[in-house]
Structure 1
């Protein structure tokens, strides 16, 4: 391979890698913006408000934050919040779990994906009260 060809191949590969990394970053940034616009009215990242805190939500057992007064329906759930469960929940919380208290839907799939990407960045703290 000629030196110029190698250089072009290397530059192309570098550009492709940068583009691949930029897309998740854009999705997370969009998710953070959507979270501020739509979720922050009822939720905080590190404290319970009208809704439970969101730090560590991905991977956490549903209805498990100590000190938050969950609906009886949510207290009975034994599964964990993963991307699929969050997608179903955000699509239609009442269909996901009849008897829950959240009256909010995210109908656009792209917006749900961005919110979930952002929530994944909020890693769980190592504190008592979160199971």
Structure 2
């Protein structure tokens, strides 16, 4: 009986454990993004726009960055980079912005996505 209760408790805990976010791990995941993006305040745009302030920012809003037509269309339709939309985009960019120019295929590992989201939330709002 105790084993069954303990096993049930562990199983109930397992999904939460998989979703725990680690900012430091997310920073390591972001290293994949650095080839195209910066995230520091006042940072330059690269192949992709600077991501500082991305959290809750309207899509296509970085001054001086030339967005693709599909991204401009999604921006005109009201796309905002909130947690739900960022997570969807990180998972599968082409599902959020079909025909968009981002060449990244998406991050399939759920834990890495959660960690990256934690890092983006912190780093994109920091006054670094």
Q: Is 2:112 the partner of 1:111?
A: yes
Task: Show the counterpart of 1:83.
Answer: 83
How far is the alpha carbon of 1:81 from its aligned partner?
0.4
Indicate yes or no: 2:120 matched with 1:123.
no
2:35 is paired with a residue whose SS is coil
* 1:30 aligned partner: 25
- How big is the shift at 1:75? 1.2
Counterparts of 1:113 and 1:102 in 2: how far apart (Å)? 20
Gapped runs of 5+ residues in structure 1? 1-22, 126-131
Q: Mind listing any 5+ residue stretches in structure 2 that lack a counterpart? A: 1-19
After superposition, the Cα gap between the structure-2 partners of 1:81 and 1:124, relative to the gap in structure 1 and judged at 3 Å, is: farther
Where does structure 1 differ by over 4 angstroms across 4 or more consecutive aligned residues?
A: none
- C-alpha displacement of 1:79: 2.1
| 3-state SS of 1:40 partner | helix
The whole-number CA distance in structure 1 between the counterparts of 2:57 and 2:100 is 17
Looking at structure 2, the residues matched to 82 and 111 of structure 1 have their Cα atoms a distance apart, in angstroms, of: 18
Match of 1:98 in 2: 98
**Could you tell me how far apart the structure 2 residues matched to 1:47 and 1:54 are?**
10
TM-score (norm 2): 0.73
Quote the offset at 1:96 in angstroms.
1.2
Count of aligned residue pairs for this structure pair? 100
How far apart are 1:95 and its partner, in Å? 1.2
CA RMSD for the aligned pairs? 1.5
Task: Give the C-alpha shift of residue 107 in structure 1.
Answer: 0.6
